Amino acid sequence: MRTLAIRHIGFEDLDLLEDILRRRGHDVRYLDAGVRPFSNVDPISDDLVVVLGGPIGVYEREAYPFLEEEIDFVRRRLTARKPTLGICLGAQIMAAALGAHVYPAPEKEIGWKPLMYTNTGMFSPLGSVGSTSVLHWHGDTFDLPPGTTLLASTDLVENQAFALDTYGLGLQFHLEVTAENLERWYIGHTIEIAITDGIDVPSLRVTTKEAAPKLEPLATKVFEDWLDNAGT
């Protein structure tokens, strides 16, 4: 099995998910968007593609022209019904590839909070998270893509997770992060944290210490179950 992870910033990697994939026998490699062209990569050949997060917007295509190539890459993969997982920016790229509008949310959503599930979401792999808080770190949102099913929302953002049959999953939030790796996020996102009201590193560290250990085994089950359903 082969997994391609599309990375937009160095410290936002597969984290917990990489360990899961390697245990399942996956050969994992990264493509650093904006550095390596998508034209050199076949969108169909890998067993799984994971599109990771990052601090840019899907609509910032003039500043980051590689986004056009990336959206087309994801569109071709989804058209071929190949297993694809999008996380945060990755979910927004999936939404754009499926024809949905992506735009700034009314306010940033940063920190730990639980999800509100649809009926379908409760009985999907994501339902294993239950009432446990997950990490939110995004300022954009999107309309629900055509042909997808809404799985979860929060009070601030309606479209937090969607499924495309069994082969596509878009998550606005982060199930993959561990408390250890978040220390890199606090450094890398220092300016965003500083300018966001009500958010500071000491408080994030406290809530992460409590929430992350509870989430990790549940997130592992979500990923394992979704990978099983996707056949990868």
Per-residue pLDDT tens, the chain, 232 aa: give them: 999 999 999 999 999 999 999 999 999 999 999 999 999 999 999 999 999 999 999 999 999 999 999 999 999 999 999 999 999 999 999 999 999 999 999 999 999 999 999 999 999 999 999 999 999 999 999 999 999 999 999 999 999 999 999 999 999 999 999 999 999 999 999 999 999 999 999 999 999 999 999 999 999 999 999 999 999 9
Extract the tokens encoding 138: 């995004």
> 202, exposed or middle or buried, with CB in 10 Å at 0-12, 13-18, 19+?
exposed
What is the rounded radius of gyration, in angstroms, for the C-alpha atoms of the chain? 16
pLDDT of the residue at 80: 98
**Count of helix runs (H) and strand runs (E) in the chain:** 7, 10
Residue 181, pLDDT score: 96
SS3 for 221? helix
At 145 the pLDDT is 98
Other CB atoms within 10 Å distance of the CB of residue 47: 17
Can you give the pLDDT at residue 98? 98
| β strands within 71-129, DSSP E | 84-87, 102-113, 116-117
Cα separation, 23 vs 17, in Å, equals: 10
- φ, ψ (nearest 5 deg) of residue 111: 130, -175
Topology of the domain covering 2-230: Rossmann fold (3.40.50)
* pLDDT for residue 104: 96
125 three-class SS = helix
According to DSSP, residue 49 is labeled E
What pLDDT is recorded for position 163?
A: 98
CB 139 within 8 Å of CB 89: no
Burial of 180 (0-12, 13-18, 19+ CB in 10 A): exposed
pLDDT at 202: 97
User: How much is the pLDDT for 111?
Assistant: 97
Q: In degrees, to the nearest 5, what angle opens at C-alpha 51 toward C-alphas 147 and 31?
A: 140
Angle at 50 between CA 47 and CA 56, to 5 degrees: 155
CB-based burial label for 160 (10 Å; 0-12, 13-18, 19+): buried
SS3 11: coil
Q: Cα separations (Å) of 79 from 5, 72, 102, 164?
A: 19, 10, 20, 11
Residue 153 confidence (pLDDT): 98
Say how many residues make up the chain. Answer: 232
